[in-house]
Amino acid sequence: MKELIYERPGNLDVIKVRDAKEAEAAPGEVTVKAEFGSVNHVDIWGRKDYPWHKFPRRFGSDLSGTVEDPGKFSDFKKGDRVVLYPIKFCGNCERCLSGNENSCLSRELFGDHTQGFFAQMINVPERNVIRLPDNVSLEYAAALPVAYTTAWHGLVNRAGLKPGTSVLIMGGSGGAGVAALQISRAFGARVFTTTSQHWKSERLIKLGAEAVFEINEKLPENVKKSSNGGVDIVFDTLGSTTIPLGIRSLKRGGKLISIAMTTGYEFTFNLRDIYSNNVDIIGAYLGTRGDLYEVIRAVSSGAIKPVIDSLFPFDEVARAQEKMENRAHFGKILLKF
Ligand SMILES: [Zn+2]
């Protein structure tokens, strides 16, 4: 079988398609035959030389497929259609026991802190395998675990999204940005969003955005004008360049959700904008298994139809990552295994 690896830290040329032996499943693991994966920014960060990255390393955090071997004790059957929850969690710590696997005290993200999912055949702990309803396609399923689950966790689980809530999405056209827009609209929220590329504005409006803004110093003022004094929630997918603008776009008592750091890690802000305004700043690292399940149900019910940008054969993953790095995509980029 083949797997996708980074030979060493670096640019697209370190991506290799490698022949690998199928490993024997450990007790408690289920063997899954890969069908679809999807590309995330975390895959691209994974090429960087972070201290916890060992090379060569397999990458990939979003995968759907079918059960090839359920193992001795699981109640899966061969052929079951499944999607993988991308966080390795202990199941026994105080966070896991309260249903917050994404805050597990020994948490690892498959594809970042530990070997990723992108192989034609993969062994995964049974508790990371989630069965799909018949009407949720494997294509759609592969789009959900990172982008849609993170958006759901931040907006619904942490920020309490409700009908009538106003939401500003920073970085509206990537996988998580589009997911946040669709989830907000499914809840009957008002959505404002941003993009730096004109062709994407029309698509954002079509998905239900009320207005699309450019990201610049005038953004908070423009948002406040359109939203009656500021938004209830800012969903930030970009990082240090947009978070200070996001804080200033909030209504008093608003919440800012930070889910990524593509544009950098550090920023400065005026504390008066936080404490005087009763602002909450929320870090949302992926989501819980429950959040992923809620997203699957939302897709199954027809409330959300994931936006797929394009589909590449898995061995052309370098082209797929290049498209993402060039921000030439709208929604999720899929890989076919
Ligand atoms: Zn735990």
Q: Can you tell me the distance from the alpha carbon of 334 to that of 118, in angstroms, rounded to the nearest whole number?
A: 12
Q: Give distance in angstroms: CA of 87 to centre of ligand 1.
A: 10
Establish if 331 belongs to a structural domain: yes
pLDDT at 261: 86
Mean pLDDT for the chain?
96
Q: Give distance in angstroms: CA of 108 to centre of ligand 1.
A: 10
Q: Give distance in angstroms: CA of 95 to centre of ligand 1.
A: 6
Q: Are residues 73 and 37 in the same domain?
A: yes
Helix (H) or strand (E) segment spanning residue 102: none
Establish if 66 belongs to a structural domain: yes
Q: Are residues 84 and 208 in the same domain?
A: no
pLDDT over 90 at 27, yes or no: yes
pLDDT over 90 at 34, yes or no: yes
Q: Give distance in angstroms: CA of 265 to centre of ligand 1.
A: 26
Q: Determine what percent of the chain is predicted with pLDDT higher than 90.
A: 93
Q: Are residues 65 and 195 in the same domain?
A: no
We report the CATH number of the domain holding residue 238 as 3.40.50.720
Amino acid in position 279: V
Establish if 253 belongs to a structural domain: yes
Domain termination residue (choose one: 243, 268, 283): 283
pLDDT at 123: 97
Q: Determine what percent of the chain is predicted with pLDDT higher than 70.
A: 100
Q: Are residues 34 and 125 in the same domain?
A: yes
pLDDT at 264: 86
Q: Give distance in angstroms: CA of 98 to centre of ligand 1.
A: 9
Q: Give distance in angstroms: CA of 109 to centre of ligand 1.
A: 13
pLDDT over 90 at 156, yes or no: yes
Q: Are residues 153 and 254 in the same domain?
A: yes
pLDDT at 49: 86
Establish if 251 belongs to a structural domain: yes
At 283-324, the pLDDT tens digits run 999 999 999 999 999 999 999 999 999 999 999 999 999 999
Q: Give distance in angstroms: CA of 241 to centre of ligand 1.
A: 33
Helix (H) or strand (E) segment spanning residue 222: helix 219-226
Q: Give distance in angstroms: CA of 12 to centre of ligand 1.
A: 34
pLDDT mean over 198-225:
96
pLDDT at 252: 97
Q: Give distance in angstroms: CA of 85 to centre of ligand 1.
A: 14
Q: Are residues 139 and 161 in the same domain?
A: no
At 44-93, the pLDDT tens digits run 999 988 888 999 999 999 999 999 999 998 999 999 999 999 999 999 99
User: How much is the pTM?
Assistant: 0.97
Q: Give distance in angstroms: CA of 129 to centre of ligand 1.
A: 17
Q: Give distance in angstroms: CA of 90 to centre of ligand 1.
A: 4
pLDDT over 90 at 281, yes or no: yes
pLDDT at 310: 98
Q: Can you tell me the distance from the alpha carbon of 261 to that of 150, in angstroms, rounded to the nearest whole number?
A: 14
Q: Are residues 212 and 315 in the same domain?
A: no
Phi/psi at 201 (5° precision) = -60, -45
Q: Give distance in angstroms: CA of 55 to centre of ligand 1.
A: 26
Pull the structure tokens for residue 44. Answer: 């691209």
Q: Are residues 88 and 186 in the same domain?
A: no
Q: Are residues 230 and 182 in the same domain?
A: yes
Q: Are residues 158 and 139 in the same domain?
A: no
Q: Give distance in angstroms: CA of 53 to centre of ligand 1.
A: 21
Q: Give distance in angstroms: CA of 243 to centre of ligand 1.
A: 30
Q: Are residues 22 and 136 in the same domain?
A: yes
Establish if 296 belongs to a structural domain: no
At 222-276, the pLDDT tens digits run 999 999 999 999 999 999 999 999 999 999 999 999 998 888 889 898 898 999 9
Confidence of residue 159 (pLDDT cuts 50, 70, 90): very high
Number of domains in the chain: 2
Question: For residue 316, what are the contacts with CB-CB under 8 A and spacing of at least 6?
Answer: none
pLDDT mean over 9-19:
97
Q: Give distance in angstroms: CA of 96 to centre of ligand 1.
A: 4
Establish if 156 belongs to a structural domain: yes
Establish if 91 belongs to a structural domain: yes
Where in the sequence is the domain holding 236, given as residue range(s)? 147-283
Q: Give distance in angstroms: CA of 88 to centre of ligand 1.
A: 9
pLDDT mean over 195-224:
96
We report the CATH number of the domain holding residue 23 as 3.90.180.10
Angle at 173 between CA 168 and CA 176, to 5 degrees: 75
Establish if 300 belongs to a structural domain: no
Q: Give distance in angstroms: CA of 308 to centre of ligand 1.
A: 33
pLDDT over 90 at 164, yes or no: yes
Confidence of residue 326 (pLDDT cuts 50, 70, 90): very high
Q: Are residues 151 and 126 in the same domain?
A: no
Neighbours of ion ligand 1 (CB under 5 A): 89-90, 93, 96, 104
Q: Give distance in angstroms: CA of 105 to centre of ligand 1.
A: 5
